[in-house]
């Protein structure tokens, strides 16, 4: 913070005041109102045409099922295998939520604390960058050696993948100090804690939500990856099992479930952002 | 304590402010009588804003004191309200929650009748649920005035509050401030770049010198209130405007009058 004559005009944006709000990265945001019937119809027809042409092309060119299964075969496999897959889905969800809850909480708290101390932040920054850029999947074999084939190594890997992602984004949010708004709170005698909860936290919220969303999606990636490395349960384990048995329709059924999970994560945070951070628009 | 100090609501005594080698304000003295409006004008960088922030208790002076009712101000004071350059509303709160923000911080029960009266006065009734981005610049600044007055401060400090508004809105806002003052008689210290605005609003216009800022001249504005369009277009107002302008720009009054 410069020590010059106070200049409280304009919206005093701090360091990372980039507009990376949720609204910028959403395909859903286009046409924020409710969709018209024509739009819904167009979306359904497009989906039918796309899936239908894939189906048709696969039949026409007589592509073998073990190379690429037809969408109809995948749908059948999805329904048929669902009772078998559900417990695995359960395991995956437990690991994802467990790891995400731990990683995101630690990431959020660290971001909130560290941004209060710019000097400490500078010292810690490189390590955070290493944590963000290193694929935590690489650690899974090591974690399995130490913790066995249960939930633990996977939850740890997920937490390690989520935490830094949440932290780096939340820190960007917390750094967006608007000195005029803090001065406003101080002029009413606000305490440091009140300034945090009533000014800093709401200002950071849009970036925190972006961080949580990216963290959750990285978490899903890491969960499935960790399951593929070792252990006898989880959707990732199903992927390796089905592919080793060349059960391609079942393999793609699992992929479909994973895509759906990813989309649900995205939609969830998009809706939360729309409700609580729409002022950013 | 001298008689003058007691009669004054807000007193600036030998105020000085330095930032490293830069002396922004030096030995600035000013007495502001209760229930008056005093404008502070001066060239850019004369320390007007710095002085106002010191009066608000948000910034400490390097030297000297600021007294409210003869008691030194050491930090943000409940009897002093502050209106910022920009409306400075919290964008994630709707209008009424923005106005109730001070009460939330102070854990006080708001005086709803008074707030509704202020909202009515400022033409904001019916907009309580709107978010700042849905309001015009003028409405936002009116909301920030309601927020500042909701606590019934004895002194209202206004830091170039209408600088960002267009000329029409600005005139409306000036009339609003006068109306509110006629009703509440709150002591107002008003920082502005506009001499016309200063003369319209004030009982006194203080001209600060360029850095380091200190009081250069002190003009009494005698015109009766409410100040009508005719008054504002009259010869005495015109002459006073030119006199103050000449004073600020350091040119002879005759030259200014001829421009």
- Residue B234 belongs to a domain with what CATH number? 3.40.50.300
**Structural domain span for residue B177:** 3-79+153-258
Domain membership of residue B204 (yes or no) is yes
Q: Report d(CA B67, CA B89) in Å as an integer.
A: 29
Check: CB of residue B10 under 8 Å from CB of residue B68. Answer: yes
CB pairs under 8 A between A and B: 74
* CATH topology for the A68-280 domain: MetI-like fold (1.10.3720)
Q: Report d(CA B214, CA B158) in Å as an integer.
A: 19
List CB contacts (< 8 A) between A176 and chain B.
none
Domain membership of residue B39 (yes or no) is yes
What average pLDDT does range A221-225 have in this prediction? 94
**CB neighbours of A13 closer than 8 A, spacing ≥ 6?**
A176, A178
A75-125 pLDDT tens trace: 999 999 999 999 999 999 999 999 999 999 999 999 999 888 888 888 888
Check: CB of residue A223 under 8 Å from CB of residue A236. Answer: yes
**Least CB-CB distance to A180: which of B19, B78, B88?**
B88
Sign of CA dihedral A42, A70, A82, A214: negative
Domain membership of residue B44 (yes or no) is yes
ipTM of this complex prediction, to 2 decimal places: 0.86
Domain membership of residue B33 (yes or no) is yes
Cβ of residue B70 closer than 8 Å to a chain A Cβ: no
Cβ of residue B134 closer than 8 Å to a chain A Cβ: no
Contact (CB<8Å) B133/A205: no
Burial of A224 (0-12, 13-18, 19+ CB in 10 A): buried
> What is the helix (H) or strand (E) element at residue A84, kind and residue range?
helix A71-114
Contact (CB<8Å) B90/A188: no
* Residuewise pLDDT in 10s, chain B (259 residues): 444 445 788 988 888 888 888 888 888 889 999 999 999 998 877 788 888 999 999 988 888 889 898 888 888 988 999 999 889 999 999 999 999 999 999 999 999 999 999 999 898 999 999 999 999 989 999 999 999 999 999 999 999 999 888 888 898 899 999 999 999 999 999 999 899 999 999 999 999 888 788 888 898 988 888 888 888 888 888 999 889 888 888 776 554 444 4
In chain B, positions 135-194, which contact chain A (CB-CB < 8 Å)?
Answer: 151, 159
List CB contacts (< 8 A) between A5 and chain B.
19, 22, 24, 45, 47, 49-50
Average pLDDT over chain A, rounded to an integer: 85
Residues in chain B: 259
A42-60 pLDDT tens trace: 999 999 999 999 999 999 9
Cβ of residue B84 closer than 8 Å to a chain A Cβ: yes
Contact (CB<8Å) A188/B50: no
Interface test with B, best of A11, A13, A184, A279 (most B CBs within 10 A): A184
In chain A, positions 195-224, which contact chain B (CB-CB < 8 Å)?
Answer: 198-199, 202-203, 205
Structurally, chain B folds into a number of domains equal to: 1
């Amino acid at each position: 913070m410069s020590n010059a004559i106070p200049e409280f005009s304009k919206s005093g944006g701090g360091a990372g005041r980039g507009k990376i709000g949720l609204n910028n990265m959403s395909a859903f945001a286009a046409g924020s109102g409710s969709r018209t019937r024509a739009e819904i119809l167009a979306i359904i027809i497009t989906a039918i045409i796309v899936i239908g042409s894939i189906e048709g092309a696969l039949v026409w060119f007589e592509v073998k099922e073990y190379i690429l299964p037809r969408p109809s075969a995948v749908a059948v496999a999805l329904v048929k295998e669902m009772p078998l897959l559900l417990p695995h889905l359960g395991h995956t969800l437990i690991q994802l939520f467990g790891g995400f809850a731990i990683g995101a909480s630690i990431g959020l708290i660290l971001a909130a604390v560290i941004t209060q101390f710019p000097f400490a932040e500078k010292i810690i920054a490189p390590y955070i960058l290493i944590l963000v850029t290193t694929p935590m999947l690489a650690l899974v074999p090591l974690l399995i050696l130490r913790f066995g084939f249960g939930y633990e190594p996977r939850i740890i890997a997920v937490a390690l993948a989520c935490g830094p992602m949440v932290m780096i984004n939340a820190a960007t949010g917390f750094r967006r100090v608007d000195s005029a708004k803090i001065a406003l709170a101080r002029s009413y005698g606000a305490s440091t804690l009140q300034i945090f909860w009533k000014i800093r936290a709401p200002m950071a919220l849009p970036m925190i939500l972006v961080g949580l969303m990216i963290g959750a999606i990285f978490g899903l990636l890491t969960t499935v990856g960790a399951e593929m490395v070792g252990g006898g349960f989880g959707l990732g384990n199903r992927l390796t099992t089905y592919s080793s048995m060349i059960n391609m329709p079942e393999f793609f059924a699992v992929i479909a479930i994973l895509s759906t999970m990813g989309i649900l994560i995205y939609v969830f945070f998009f809706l939360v952002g729309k409700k609580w951070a729409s002022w950013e628009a | 304590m001298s008689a003058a100090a007691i009669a004054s609501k807000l007193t600036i005594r030998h105020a000085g402010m330095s930032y490293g080698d830069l002396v922004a304000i030096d030995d600035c003295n000013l007495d502001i009588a209760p229930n008056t409006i005093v404008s502070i004008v001066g060239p850019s960088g004369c320390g007007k804003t710095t002085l106002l922030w010191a009066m608000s208790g948000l910034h400490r002076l390097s030297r000297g004191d600021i007294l409210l009712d003869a008691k030194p101000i050491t930090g943000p004071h409940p009897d002093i309200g502050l209106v910022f350059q920009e409306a400075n509303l919290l964008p994630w709160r709707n209008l009424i929650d923005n106005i109730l923000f001070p009460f939330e911080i102070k854990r006080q029960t708001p005086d709803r009748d008074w707030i509704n009266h202020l909202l009515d006065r400022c033409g904001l009734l019916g907009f309580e649920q709107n978010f700042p981005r849905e309001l015009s610049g003028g409405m936002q600044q009116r909301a920030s005035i309601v927020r500042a007055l909701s606590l019934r401060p004895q002194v209202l400090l206004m830091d170039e509050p209408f600088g960002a508004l267009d000329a029409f809105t600005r005139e409306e806002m000036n009339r609003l401030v006068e109306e509110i003052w006629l009703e509440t008689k709150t002591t107002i210290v008003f920082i502005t770049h506009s001499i016309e605005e200063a003369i319209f609003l004030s009982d006194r216009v203080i001209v600060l010198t360029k850095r380091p800022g200190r009081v250069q001249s002190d003009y009494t504005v005698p015109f009766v209130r409410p100040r009508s369009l005719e008054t504002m277009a009259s010869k005495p107002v015109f002459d006073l405007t030119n006199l103050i302008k000449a004073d600020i720009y350091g040119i002879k009054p005759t030259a200014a009058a001829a421009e």
